[in-house]
Structure 1
């Protein structure tokens, strides 16, 4: 059964797609209103919405990949950042030029598609290694192993001994803490004659598109950034379709059985160990691809891009939306970015413009001291100035609130029909009086709903 027919979303116009678009519409309306109050021009508004959409797309991608492991199979993977790093660095080493010149990191000089596939395969291979303990470890213990593996990967890429090295006579490198260059954003080739230089003359397509948006005051860089963001949105749709089909397949139903009770799944003859390894490899490959798409908009990558906090951000997005729901994964990524990741910065700018508070104290003690004379403005100014740093606190508060009040997330409560065919929607024979006999499955479903209301 598709997710669009689960729970309350079937009553919304457009189903789950309408729900996702509705969340985006509310988010866009809110940030547009804030931007107008802040005095942003057309290019500023377009750039702001592009940044929000970009991060919402990448967090949705990674939340979907994590949902395959945790939401479907119940595998607690806290090493998402590490598998992203494997995918990105493998792609970078495969595509880096053989002779990069002074200060560059050598690679194999392969085409970008080969590098992307190689990065996904490398992430899947490392995922297979990490999945071996999954045959014996449960819940928290598996989380510890994956977190440790993620840090081992990051520290390895940060090691100076791997800045440049030779493997079977082939020179490679990771750049260590200095990072390494990434291939040129392929979207640039659509708009510029020289994809490596935005200052080069535009192509025929670029000239037409730039001229169209120049009329409303949107600059070239914003147009190109939006084009790459639209590519990410297309990948979100692709991830969603693939994972929905996986979840509704016999393979996906076994994963959900493992999540609910592995002993029962084993007693039914399912080799749960193989299923765990397969789903872990698939999820890690998608995490590697998500990392490649995220970092692909930049010119270089470094180990500092894959700190453990990134994994916890992705978990927060999935918990908000609801584990086990692909629609919830997308909505969770959008809400996390809009309300917790980018929202505090815009709130601070808005309050500073509407309520001039003067210079904020430099220390917490200096901000608290005026409370003795009932002056709360210094403390308010201090907290407002530290709002970007307090983003971690806000994320923690939101996480605790969700766990306490709605541990299943916004959409995690929705039920899925286990069979591949929805028996409640099958055609019923017509009776002599022209009516149809009641469907047993629908009666059972109605009784289940009544029981839920009574409880």
Structure 2
């Protein structure tokens, strides 16, 4: 038997240990299990091919976008020790900046819609990323003197200030130096059209026709193509953070995370390293806000950037384990597949086979019916409270982790701060010493 273990501590056989040590195997094995569960659910619900593909598309989309945000949180917390709870705020800055810049100028926009600056979409996206990075710089400078939970409070307050500002009625439509633009206030603003969807509406029509000939809904072609674009961003983010963590810059970040004062004693300007790490993460979050909240739905409102979004992203990191990029992605897959989307899938299966109908307004009504021997009202009430059920499942998951794996599924993976694996060198030296002693004993 090998010394390798799975995430819950069970020992793996030799033939499986070698494969399980590969990061890509962990990710795809977890994703494969989630896909299998959703395919079985689709069979139980009688989905056709398009229905199955759409179900997998949705869960893959959520895994990818939550995974990008979780990787940024892992960069901030797992590698740098920065407790950032303002994730949603930087996403909002990115998408609102790109949207306002890309909207047509006054006189060229449709009647009744908010004007903008008429900037080409590609430049607007770059500007949104840069503005999010600049906002991260502004937020980091005064608050990096704070530690741990105080820094978290500041970033959370910053994100709420951003959301409330975009929600303000005073900024719904304003004119500055002859330019008219606005955030749309609480009602939101229509964003730019999805370039991937536009492509399949025009030049990509032959591909759509071929898919429809196979019995696949044509809209799924554009949907899956957009998911693949987001997947490329996820892979790029993964490689970027992996590269940073393995570089001298990343090794300094790990030193700051473990002991900032000791790192400062080595003549490292720790504040500069933390600011740069924070700005890089905020830039990625700005891009994520543009492609997730902007391009995917075509409409954005401040209510999409509530603190709940940040908390869900943090839970994905906690499940996988901070300090491990692979664990972060695996935790995201499990959180999205089982906690975020799981209650909705379970409700559809129960409704299909139990035949539930109607609604139960209050919990006492459900309990009263339970006393008379009927469980249907209680099931109706539970599945009507999908958001509350999601929170309950999240709490149970966190309790289980605290008991079995407080460091997360892969949070105990050791990160080598030095470019030389000192532990391996010490073991080799001990082995050489033991061999020399053995040879000396034989000579005597």
User: Match for residue 302 of structure 1?
Assistant: 301
1:71, 1:324 within 8 Å by CA — same for their partners in 2?
yes
Does residue 365 (structure 1) correspond to residue 364 (structure 2)? The answer is yes
Match of 2:220 among 219, 222, 245: 222
Aligned 8 A contact 1:134 1:276 in 2:
no
Whether 2:106 is the aligned partner of 1:107: answer: no
1:392-414, Cα deviation, whole Å (9 max, x unpaired): 22223323332343221111111
Match of 1:439 among 428, 433, 436: 428
Contact 2:134–2:279 under 8 Å retained in 1: yes
Distance 1:218 1:365, change over 3 A: same
Structure-to-structure mapping, 1:306-321, within 5 angstroms? 306-321=305-320
2:175 counterpart residue number: 166
Q: 1:405 to 1:108 in 2, by over 3 A?
A: same
Note if contact 1:323-1:408 (Cα within 8 Å) is conserved in structure 2: yes
What value does the CA root-mean-square deviation take over the aligned residues?
2.5
150, 154, 157: which one aligns with 1:148: 157
Equivalent in the alignment of 1:92: 99
Correspondence for 1:431: none
**SS of residue in 1 equivalent to 2:418:** coil
Q: Distance in 2 between matches of 1:356 and 1:424?
A: 61
Alpha-carbon contact 2:197-2:222 (below 8 Å) kept = yes
State the partner residue of 1:285: 283
Segments of structure 2 that go 5 or more residues without pairing to the other structure are: 1-6, 434-444
Instruction: Give the TM-score normalised by the residue count of structure 1.
Output: 0.86
Q: Distance in 1 between matches of 2:222 and 2:73?
A: 29
Q: Does 1:399 align with 2:388?
A: no
What stretches of structure 1 move > 4 A for 4+ residues in a row?
A: 7-10, 357-360, 373-377, 421-426, 441-444
Which position in structure 2 is the counterpart of 1:75? 82
Shift of residue 101, structure 1, vs aligned partner: 3.0
Tell me what 1:434 maps to.
none
The equivalent residue for 1:430 is none
What SS is found at the alignment partner of 1:74?
Answer: coil
Cα distance in 1 between the residues matched to 2:430 and 2:380: 60
**Alignment partner of 1:17 is 2:3:** no
After alignment, is 8-17 or 315-324 more displaced?
8-17
Deviations 1:138-180 (A, max 9, x none): 1111111111111100000011111122333322211111211
Are the counterparts in 2 of residues 84 and 291 from structure 1 also a CA contact under 8 Å?
Answer: yes
**Following TM superposition, by how much is the alpha carbon of 1:269 offset from its aligned partner in structure 2, in angstroms?**
1.2
C-alpha distance after superposition, 1:44-101 (max 9, x if no partner)? 1111110000010000000011111111111111110001000111111111111323
The residue aligned with 1:139 is 148
Q: Is the 8 A contact 2:383 2:389 kept in 1?
A: no
Deviation at 1:420, TM superposition (A): 2.9
Q: 1 CA distance for matches of 2:28 and 2:269?
A: 40
Choose from 247, 251, 258 the match for 2:256.
258
Aligned to 1:186: 195
**1:211 Cα deviation after fit:** 2.8
Distance in 2 of aligned mates of 1:101 and 1:189: 19
- Aligned match for 1:210, one of 202, 208, 211: 208
Separation in 1, partners of 2:359, 2:210: 44
Aligned residues between the structures: 418
| Superposition map of 1:376-455 within 5 A | 376-420=375-419, 439-440=428-429
Q: 1:264 to 1:309 in 2, by over 3 A?
A: same
Residue 172 of structure 2 contacts residue 182 of structure 2 at CA under 8 Å; is this kept in 1? yes
**CA deviation after TM superposition for structure 1 residue 370, in Å:** 3.6
Question: 2 CA distance for matches of 1:442 and 1:186?
Answer: 60
Check 1:377–1:93 CA distance in 2 against 1; reply closer, same or farther (3 A cut). Answer: closer
Deviations 1:398-451 (A, max 9, x none): 23332343221111111122233557899xxxxxxxxxx98339999xxxxxxx
What whole-Å deviation, never above 9, does each CA across 1:359-384 have from its counterpart, x for those lacking one?
A: 55332111112444555443234323
CA distance in 1, matches of 2:431, 2:199: 53
Matched, 1:33 2:32: no
Report the alpha carbon displacement of residue 14 of structure 1 after superposing the two structures with TM.
Answer: 8.4
TM-score, normalised with respect to structure 2: 0.88
Distance in 1 (CA, whole Å) between partners of 2:157 and 2:57 is 34
Mapped partners of 2:205, 2:21: distance in 1: 34
After TM superposition, give the deviation of residue 190 of structure 1 in Å: 2.4
